[in-house]
Amino acid sequence: MKRILLLLFISNCIACQFDTKNPNQSNLASTTIQNEVSALDSSLIKELQQIRADDQKYRKQMYRQNITPEEKEALWEKQNHLDSINLQKVNQILQKGHPTTQSVGKENTNTLWLVLHHQDNLEIRNQYLPILEKAMQDGILTEGALKVYQKRSNGMKQ
């Protein structure tokens, strides 16, 4: 959404700078901006935003002050359930290929990493490692994010 607003703002700025005697210039700028906006996959963006919200839903509550061990355990049960649903959604998304920053924005591409990073099953983590390595090679994921993922995986019992 931020990218769309930014693109619309830029298109207005560009339109103001063009010579009004030559309408072809502003049409070209407008077409370029429209192509950028249409390149974003709005349905996938919404899905990734919901996945991210679900990924953080109970985790945020677990770190509030004065939470009892029983409350924390109940929140973990709820979060683990959401995590399993999110993993299925991420798997379906990745079956089509890793979304690019151009199609869903940087924060939304990181949502996939976040869900996979929160997996406690080493077998699952290892299964997705090659996909994350390719995402890093393609410039979708940062090297730092991949290293954090690998470090956590290496710290788990084999």
| Residue 91 and residue 34 in one domain | no
> Same domain for 55 and 32?
no
Q: Do 67 and 109 share a structural domain?
A: yes
Angle at 64 between CA 118 and CA 142, to 5 degrees: 30
Residue 158 has which token pair? 């084999």
Task: Give yes or no: residues 35 and 46 share one domain.
Answer: no
Q: Rg of the Cα trace of the chain?
A: 20
| Residues 23 and 47 both lie in one domain | no
The mean pLDDT value for 102-107 works out to 92
- CB contact set of 141 (below 8 Å; sequence gap of 6+): 109, 110, 113, 132, 135
Greater pLDDT, 149 or 7:
149
Do 53 and 33 lie in one domain? The reply is: no
What pLDDT does 79 receive? 97
Q: Report the pLDDT value the prediction gives residue 27, as an integer from 0 to 100.
A: 46
Q: What is the pLDDT of residues 5-39, one digit of tens each?
A: 444 444 444 444 434 444 444 444 444 434 444 46
What mean pLDDT is reported for the chain? 82
- Give me the number of domains the chain comprises: 2
Same domain, 32 and 51: no
46 shares its domain with 109: yes
90 and 47 in a common domain: yes
Both 91 and 135 in a single domain? yes
125, pLDDT greater than 50: yes
pLDDT score of 158: 54
Residues 21 and 48 occupy one common structural domain: no
Owning domain of residue 20: 2-39
Instruction: Please determine, for residue 94, whether its predicted confidence score (pLDDT) is greater than 60.
Output: yes
Q: Is the pLDDT of residue 81 over 70?
A: yes
Q: How many whole angstroms separate alpha carbon 1 and alpha carbon 36?
A: 13
> What pLDDT score does 102 carry?
93
Residue 68 and residue 95 in one domain: yes
